[in-house]
Amino acid sequence: MASCQPITLPRTIERVSSSQSRPAPRLRYAAYMTGLRHFRMGAGVVIRGEGERVLLVEPTYKENWEIPGGVVEADEAPWATAEREVREELGLEFRVQQPLLIDHLTTDVQLDEGMASLLASGRLTEDEAAVLRAERALSAVMWLFDGGTLSDSEVDALRLPAAELRSVRLCTMDEVRDRVNAGMWRRLTLALEAARGGTGPVLCADGVPRARS
């Protein structure tokens, strides 16, 4: 019977270390979650008056008028944001009704629509805008809620935060078109249609409604 001889591996074959043979460690959950792209969210309230008018506020810090609303804060529900902003801006305590519209806004559209006013106000430079566009940093979701109606006398009685708002008024649709930016105009017209027809919420991408099946 032949004796067993030890086998010598050729020099060209390298041993695979135990660390190389193991699968790559899974990314820790916290690191994975914090590395995800974060969406900003905003919430606004559509408050109507007699004669197809809409309540707008005039901010002190930018050119375009807005509906009451603001940015959703950390761990805050969009409807809670809407109620908080109405309380802070108009001094009204109320619960918002159903959402009328949900709009996903892309970075390019937001920059294109707001660039002129942002540059004019000095809040943004061309270089900063280029960084935001490259990083896709302005992707957001905007919620518009039904805020019911207010009478002229109720609007006249509102007390505004002077540092934030110059004025408030119920505007006709022609006045709304002249005062808000293009994106808000698209969202408002769709939201008002939904309010009249009871068909909300309208799902949109950059102000364009998704086709209904």
The length of the chain is 213
Amino acid at 75: D
Query: Looking at residue 185, what is its pLDDT?
Result: 95
Average pLDDT of the residues in 159-172: 95
154 close to 53: Cβ distance less than 8 angstroms? no
Report the distance separating Cα 58 and Cα 9, nearest Å.
81
- Summarize the confidence of residues 129-151 as an average pLDDT: 87
CA distances from 84 to 8, 61, 89, 162 (A): 77, 20, 9, 17
Taking Cα atoms as reference points, which of 199, 208, 204, 80 lies closest to residue 142?
204
Structure confidence at residue 84 (pLDDT): 97
Place of tokens 């008018």: 53
pLDDT tens per residue, range 108-138: 877 777 776 777 778 888 888 888 777 777 7
8 Å CB contact between 49 and 151: yes
- Nearest alpha carbon to residue 86 among 119, 121, 46: 46
Average pLDDT over every residue of 170-199: 94
pLDDT confidence of residue 20: 52
CATH architecture for segment(s) 37-207: Alpha-Beta Complex (3.90)
Asked if residues 147 and 44 have their Cβ atoms less than 8 Å apart, the reply is no
Residue 67 to residue 146: CA distance in whole angstroms: 11
Q: Does pLDDT of 88 surpass 90?
A: yes
